[in-house]
Structure 1
Amino acid sequence: MIDYLRRNPQVRTIRVAASDLNGQPRGKRVPSRFADKVVEDGTRFPLSVLNLDIWGEDIDDSPLVFESGDRDGVLRPTERGFLPMPWLEAPTALLPIWMFHEDGRPYDGDPRHALRAVLDRYRARGLTPVVAVELEFFLIDDSGRNLEVPVSPRSGKRRKAAETMSIRALDQFDLFFTDLYDACEAMDIPADTAISEAGLGQFEINLMHGDDALRAADDAWLFKLLVKGLARRHGFAASFMAKPYEDYAGSGMHTHFSVLDAEGNNIFDDGTQRGNATMRHAVAGCLDAMHDSALIFAPHLNSYDRLVPGAHAPTGISWAYENRTAAIRIPSGSHKARRIEHRVSGGDVNPYLMLAAILGAALNGIEDAHEPPEPITGNAYALDLRHMPSDWGSAIEAFEASSTIPRIFAPELIRNLLLTKKQERHYMAELEPAEQVTIYLDTV
């Protein structure tokens, strides 16, 4: 791991960072000459640091702070090792880390460990999820009083219109996207296709599928840091907030997944376009947990502006074949690649918690052999369906009262997330809408 710094002597400082519950990187700046100590011994900071609110403040009534003396955890490097940080001016390396107790036990309040625990359940059954995510984001000029599309570096103009699947829109920001793909290659983030989306200055980039869901979450987390940092170098902002513009669709983070058995066979494939009983059981598990998991898929006040009828985001709990109005879509294509697309999450999610919630729910369904209702046809918005919580408070209540969520997440993580969201909800209510947007624009 330390060989990276020996091969890159121009790197003078490193960042060591872990994801908190909101997906914010928390950590330290360290001179590279002391990197050996971090790699060998880890570093330390309080357990409470992974349980801060969106402003980076302590949770007022958290037992992790004064009640326990604000004790330390030990943070050790993940398997990813050192990565360049191409959005910074000075050559710098990032070392992703995750948290453990002093005795070596994983810290249950770490979102990366939450996903690892779900994957351990799959591994115990000889199963391996294959995962890909699609990330939507906005490029934004936030230099004035109102958010706007950035001026095109090519034309010098500001085009205030939706540009769905527009090559012109991609070309207007070609230098940014060229730098972004170069940076993804340097960081070994498997960025694939880019398209322009329906919102003002909105784009989507797909990350390639792989059979390491923990790495897929790492990729999504790192990609969000990269996009936001690199956009600032180009003179504008990039944001994954769910809905920056009232009159346009928001940003999602759709997840595609299948599951392999020990021999590498797709356990959803029965040689047909419909998929088999195991796939239906996984769908049922996802549907069963969807209402109570809304706090994971829509974790912020702004998230619920996206989840409205007719806005290209699902509101009803349903599944369908090749239907993008449903919350769960079974894409067409080769039966060998039979998979489930989960379409609920906003771009503002923590990728570790999101994948843990989706994969954990799917495995619950497989273990319980639940059958889903019949797949819908037509426009899901026009059907009489059970709906997702329509506001933040209802999502918090559903998460807290759920009997499904404790099958997926550890009690400490559930407690910490609830305390965090209750505190954020209290203080967000004191802010004007413009102040709320300012908070979410650069954080989520």
Structure 2
Amino acid sequence: MRNWLRKHPMVRTIRVAAADLNGQPRGKRVPTRFADKVVEGGTRFPMSVMNLDIWGEDIDDSPLVFETGDRDGVLKPTERGFVPMPWLEGPTALLPLWMFHEDGRPFEGDPRHALRRVLERYDEKGLKPVVAVELEFYLIDDSGKSFQVPASPRSGKRRKAAEILSVRALDMFDKFFTDLYDACEEMDIPADTAISEAGLGQFEINLMHSDDALRAADDAWLFKMLVKGLARRYGFAASFMAKPYVDYSGSGMHTHFSVIDRNGQNIFDDGSQQGSAYLRHAVAGCMDAMQGSTLLFAPHANSYDRMVPDNHAPTSICWGYENRTAAIRIPSGDPRARRIEHRVAGGDVNPYLLIAGILGAAMNGIDDGSEPCEPIKGSAYNQDLPQVPNTWDSAIERFEKDEHIARIFTPELIRNYVATKRQELFYMAELDDREQVEIYLDTV
């Protein structure tokens, strides 16, 4: 890590930061000449910083605050090392961190450690998940009283139409996307295909699969920071909030995963289009945990505006082959690439908790040898199927008490996350829709 800074002498300051339970980067600005101290010994934050609400406030009655004297945790660099921050004006680097106790134990209230813990279950069986994500977001001019699509940097005009897979819509923001891809390469984020989506100024970018799920989550976390930061340099906003416009589609974060064994073989592949017994077990585990997991997929008040039928967001607990109305889709293609696509989450999620929840549920199903119901055919919206919780408070309640969730996350993380969401639920009720959107626009 020290060699990275020596190879980049133009970098004068660094940021050291970790993701809190909402996925917000919390950290410090450090002059580069003091960076070696952080690299070698880490830095210190109060443990309560990993458990703040969406406004960045302490959680009322949290045992991490006054009950323990608001004690520090030790933040150590992750294996990612330094990452450039090309959306800032001056040359700057980010050093991602995660939290530990003074004695070296992982702080289990850290969302990155929650994913690490799930991956240890796979490693014990000689298995490794391969993960990829698709992130949808909106480009928004938020300078006026109402949101609108930004003017094209090329033409200065606004194209007030939603165009699915429109090359013209991409070309309107060609310079932005060119700079975005250049920045992804600089940050070693594996950005692949970009498309225009169904919403006004809505786009999707896929990140390539990785057999390191922690790195895949890092990529998603860093990508969201990059897109939002770069958009502001262009004079508009980029937002991953689930539903910025009432009349247009919400933004999702679809997660694809397969599992390979010690020989690098995909255990979901049995040579057929249907997939192996392991695939069915993983599907069943994801479905069994789906009601309890909904708070991970829809963590904010605005999330539930997206979770409505006939709106391109799965609301029924079901699975199917090549069926995008199902919560879990099995894509077709070469059996060697057989995988599961989990389609429920909004773009406003914490990537670490999302991937931990999905992979943990799948491992529950594999451990139990669970079998799913029959895959559906046709539209899930027109069938009598079990539903995910459709309100924020019911999702909080289900997450807190669900037996499947208790197998995935530690009691400490469950307690902290529930307290965070209950506090946000209470204070969000005092705000109107516009005020809520203003809060979520830049944060999530």
Equivalent residue for 1:400?
400
What residue identity is the alignment partner of 1:47?
M
Unaligned stretches of 5+ residues in structure 2: none
Matched, 1:11 2:8: no
Equivalent residue for 1:62?
62
Equivalent residue for 1:228?
228
Question: What is the 5 A alignment of 1:136-151?
Answer: 136-151=136-151
Question: What is the 5 A alignment of 1:367-386?
Answer: 367-386=367-386
1:174-199 CA distance string (max 9 Å, x none):
00000000000000000000000000
3-state SS in 2 of match to 1:122? helix
1:390-417 CA distance string (max 9 Å, x none):
0101101111121111100011000000
Between the aligned partners of 1:257 and 1:432, the Cα distance in structure 2 is: 38
3-state SS in 2 of match to 1:257? strand
Equivalent residue for 2:216?
216
What residue identity is the alignment partner of 2:13?
T
Equivalent residue for 1:44?
44
Equivalent residue for 2:293?
293
What residue identity is the alignment partner of 2:384?
D
1:44-65 CA distance string (max 9 Å, x none):
0100000000000000110100
1:305-343 CA distance string (max 9 Å, x none):
001001100000000000000000000000000000000
Between the aligned partners of 1:80 and 1:115, the Cα distance in structure 2 is: 15
3-state SS in 2 of match to 1:404? helix
Equivalent residue for 1:133?
133
Between the aligned partners of 2:61 and 2:402, the Cα distance in structure 1 is: 22
1:117-176 CA distance string (max 9 Å, x none):
000000000000000000000000000010110011122211111111000000000000
Between the aligned partners of 1:300 and 1:54, the Cα distance in structure 2 is: 9
Between the aligned partners of 2:161 and 2:389, the Cα distance in structure 1 is: 31
Equivalent residue for 2:309?
309
3-state SS in 2 of match to 1:235? coil
Q: How large is the RMSD of aligned CA atoms in angstroms? A: 0.5
Between the aligned partners of 2:146 and 2:338, the Cα distance in structure 1 is: 44
Report deviation, 1:243. 0.3
Question: What is the 5 A alignment of 1:401-420?
Answer: 401-420=401-420
Between the aligned partners of 2:38 and 2:401, the Cα distance in structure 1 is: 40
Matched, 1:108 2:108: yes
Indicate the percent of aligned positions where both proteins have the same amino acid: 77
Equivalent residue for 2:237?
237
Equivalent residue for 2:434?
434
Between the aligned partners of 1:416 and 1:353, the Cα distance in structure 2 is: 13
Between the aligned partners of 2:89 and 2:223, the Cα distance in structure 1 is: 18
3-state SS in 1 of match to 2:86? coil
Between the aligned partners of 1:222 and 1:239, the Cα distance in structure 2 is: 14
| Bigger mean CA offset, 393-402 vs 320-329 | 393-402
Equivalent residue for 1:391?
391
Between the aligned partners of 1:177 and 1:211, the Cα distance in structure 2 is: 26
What residue identity is the alignment partner of 1:336?
R
Between the aligned partners of 2:284 and 2:83, the Cα distance in structure 1 is: 39
What residue identity is the alignment partner of 1:69?
G
Equivalent residue for 2:327?
327
Equivalent residue for 1:259?
259
3-state SS in 2 of match to 1:293? helix
Aligned residues: 444
What residue identity is the alignment partner of 1:380?
A
What residue identity is the alignment partner of 2:163?
E
Between the aligned partners of 1:281 and 1:385, the Cα distance in structure 2 is: 20
Between the aligned partners of 2:113 and 2:439, the Cα distance in structure 1 is: 27
Between the aligned partners of 2:35 and 2:154, the Cα distance in structure 1 is: 42
Matched, 1:152 2:136: no
TM-score by length of 2: 1.00
TM-score by length of 1: 1.00
Between the aligned partners of 2:163 and 2:196, the Cα distance in structure 1 is: 6
Matched, 1:272 2:272: yes
1:55-89 CA distance string (max 9 Å, x none):
00000110100111000000000000011100000
What residue identity is the alignment partner of 2:281?
H
Matched, 1:53 2:68: no
What residue identity is the alignment partner of 1:268?
F
Unaligned stretches of 5+ residues in structure 1: none
Equivalent residue for 1:75?
75
Between the aligned partners of 1:435 and 1:135, the Cα distance in structure 2 is: 25
3-state SS in 1 of match to 2:301? coil
Between the aligned partners of 2:2 and 2:164, the Cα distance in structure 1 is: 44
Equivalent residue for 1:361?
361
Between the aligned partners of 2:54 and 2:228, the Cα distance in structure 1 is: 16
1:294-313 CA distance string (max 9 Å, x none):
00010000000001001100
Between the aligned partners of 1:329 and 1:100, the Cα distance in structure 2 is: 37
What residue identity is the alignment partner of 1:281?
H
What residue identity is the alignment partner of 2:30?
V
What residue identity is the alignment partner of 2:197?
E
Between the aligned partners of 2:418 and 2:311, the Cα distance in structure 1 is: 28
Report deviation, 1:436. 0.3
Between the aligned partners of 2:76 and 2:156, the Cα distance in structure 1 is: 46
